[in-house]
Amino acid sequence: MGRNNQGPIAVDQFTRIHGTRIRYRTLGSGPPLLLMHGLGASLELWDPLLPFLEGFTVVLMDHPGAGLSATPTRPMTMRRYAHVAHGLLGHLQLRDVAVLGLSFGGMVAQELARAAPQRVSRLVLVCTSCGWGSVPGGLAALAAVGTPLRYHSPAYMKMVAPILYGGGIDRAAQVQASQAEARLAYPPSTLGYFAQLTAAWTWSSRPYLRRLCVPTLVVSGSEDPVIPAANGRILAGLIGGAQYFEVDGGGHLCLLDAAERVAPRITAFLRNDAGGD
């Protein structure tokens, strides 16, 4: 269990999707919104955003190998991560779901929209890329991504946070502290982390992005060191009719450390769909 800002207690639930035990939570009421986090992260890391999502039924999940979801025994691809998310939506009997993916979660979200457009009503891609064919991040940031140590060592997390996340994370002490605490409490398994990393580094959505027909908002941070904002512009340029929003001074976690600036733009986009275009 854990606290949330749309009710007193958020209850952990578990289901088995394609043979893997998956942890998820649902909270709030209104149109459904699935949140998918970044590399190795657990659903606790969404806490800074939740106060801004009133009016939605929010579905949170741990990807296989992260948080309290089990580590799969077979090799994972981005398509398989998307199949897990699709299976969870089926388990919850949800259709017409808005999907928000951050970083690695944004890659899974692209695959989900490709594989199951009938389930996805709107797509929000935050600080993410198309994989192969994207603009690489800085060497120091990529080196930090290459190890799950930030999920095990608060000192290492504090040292690499400005290098990896950029933007205001070094100034947002409360967000940095809560992120470090959640990472330490719910670290990914080593195998789970590197399975996600391998999936991200061997995947590309470029061949099908022009065929996506889901209304899409792409959000980038202008100071994101690991997934430069140029990648958001690439996504928005390839996905027909996509909207693009660049957060001035925002880093890789701008959705969390600058939620008061970013969330209203996202919820306005999502509510357009709920009320009809």
The CA-based angle 5-111-194, given to 5 degrees, is: 80
- Inter-residue contact 66 to 188 (CB < 8 Å): yes
Q: Which listed residue (42, 69, 103, 134) is catalytic?
A: 103
d(CA 159, CA 164): 9
Short-list 127, 118, 114, CA closest to 227: 127
Does the active-site annotation cover 103? yes
Residue 122: C-alpha distances to residues 6, 20, 98, 156, 235 (Å): 22, 27, 5, 36, 15
Cα angle, residue 192 at apex, residues 186 and 198 outer, rounded to 5°: 135
CA distance 67 to 21: 11
Cβ atoms of residues 133 and 206 within 8 Å: yes
- How many helices and strands (H and E) does the chain possess? 9, 8
Catalytic residues: 103
